[in-house]
Amino acid sequence: MARAAGNDNRRRPGYCGAMARITVRGGGIFGLAVGYELARRGAPVRLVERDRIGAGASGGLVGALAPHAPGRVTALKAVQIAGLRAAAAFWAGAAQAGGMDPHFARAGRLQPLPDEAAVEQARARGEVDRDLWGCVLNWRVEALAADAWRGESPTGLWVRDDLSARLNPRRALRTLASAIVALGGEVVEGRDVAAEGPEVWATGAAGLSDLGLGSGVKGQAALFKAAVPPDAPQLYADGLHLVPHGDGTAVVGSTTEAAFDDPSSTDAALDLLIERARGLSPLLAEAPVIDRWAGLRPRSRTRAPVLGALPGRPGVFVANGGFKIGFSLAPEVARLMADLVLEGVDGIPAELRAG
């Protein structure tokens, strides 16, 4: 299996001083997070986006950083939990370096429990969180009266977790791009530039298809203007994410469409989501929709991220396959990729390796 830079798995002394510039391709959350982490560690970085920052899936509206329910520890869940735990420090560091605010907030999440079976399952997951995950989510069942944001739970009960967070995806991307430049790196938009040294391909759905590693799955989301209290938790109900952004807006997402004609158009499937969101949250019932968006999530064949050295391509690395949770994975993906590219240390779980 290919592992370290140049596929030679020796630990290198570090890349300060005369190292060749690292080219990161793709101005989505994976490329920018990796580029920022490399720059933060002192490496010379050039991020090359062929279109514009946020042209792909990352330029959308939702921005939920929402963990899987507690359960068996898989490689994917472990990377996601690590990413979520690192998120506050990661985004604070990027905000400070970049002089911008990604609107990150660890506001938690509430999920209404529709019936007794769901209540039992939620309570059992609380035990799993305690026993297997060390209470990392602080997952628990609570009785809460309806309010204007969350509406009613059919049982009066909700499951709450404290690890869920949210950010504004477009601001987050701009924050990272600005941080890369502030740290001495370069961000190139709208053209291609040849690599001078190692390359990291973080080119989203198009890149996955080109590499034969996966494809794109369409999703649509809508933005409401709504006076949701700034510290309100996000809601996950009936398969919908309702995410308040602390700035007088809230988002509903998302559709999941394997078959589509136009990856970037919105249609009646989004209208349906909007109606469902209006039915769930009283605050959204009359709220105007001020933006509609669609894009292609990069989904690998295994549905897990594809990370690491590309077999048979010395000095070429890939960071892709964020699928539905790219923003929550990003801080940990950035750490794993920087360890590999800069130090030759491959901590990527075998299940997520590119080769």
Which tokens sit at 84? 């979520």
- Measured CA to CA, the distance from residue 338 to residue 39 in angstroms comes to 9
Written as one string, the DSSP assignment of 308-352 is EEPTT-TTEEEEE--TT-HHHHHHHHHHHHHIIIII------GGG
Q: Are 189 and 181 in contact (CB under 8 A)?
A: no
Nearer of residues 30 and 317 to ligand FAD, judged by Cβ:
30
DSSP secondary structure code for residue 133 in this structure: H
Which tokens sit at 241? 């994410």
The interface mask with ligand FAD, positions 138-177, x = CB under 6 A, is ----------------------------------------
> From the CB of 137, what's the least distance to ligand FAD, in Å?
16
Q: Is 328 in the site for ligand FAD (CB under 6 A)?
A: yes
The interface mask with ligand FAD, positions 111-130, x = CB under 6 A, is --------------------
User: Closest Cα partner for 80 from 88, 93, 68?
Assistant: 68
Residue 169 CA to chain centroid, in angstroms? 9
The interface mask with ligand FAD, positions 9-48, x = CB under 6 A, is ----------------xxxxxxx----------------x
Q: Which stretch binds ligand FAD (CB under 6 A): 56-64, 223-231, 259-267, 340-348?
A: 56-64
Candidates 5, 34, 43, 57: give the one binding ligand FAD (CB under 6 A).
Answer: 57
Nearer of residues 153 and 168 to ligand FAD, judged by Cβ:
168
DSSP secondary structure code for residue 343 in this structure: I
Candidates 171, 324, 335, 353: give the one binding ligand FAD (CB under 6 A).
Answer: 324
Task: Provide the pairing of β-strand 316-320 with 214-225.
Answer: unpaired
With CB under 6 A as the rule, give the number of residues binding ligand FAD: 42
> From the CB of 79, what's the least distance to ligand FAD, in Å?
13
User: Closest Cα partner for 336 from 350, 323, 17, 324?
Assistant: 350
* C-alpha distances in Å from residue 28, one per residue of 80, 135, 157, 301, 348: 18, 31, 38, 20, 20
The interface mask with ligand FAD, positions 197-236, x = CB under 6 A, is -----xxxxxx-----------xxx---------------
Candidates 327, 331, 335, 353: give the one binding ligand FAD (CB under 6 A).
Answer: 327
Centre a 10 Å sphere on the Cβ of residue 258 and count the other Cβ atoms it contains.
9
Q: Is 77 in the site for ligand FAD (CB under 6 A)?
A: no
Q: Which helix (H) or strand (E) holds 79?
A: helix 75-98
In the complex, which residues of this chain contact ligand FAD (CB under 6 A)? Answer: 25-31, 48-51, 55-58, 60, 62-64, 202-207, 219-221, 241, 253-254, 295, 297-298, 320, 322-328
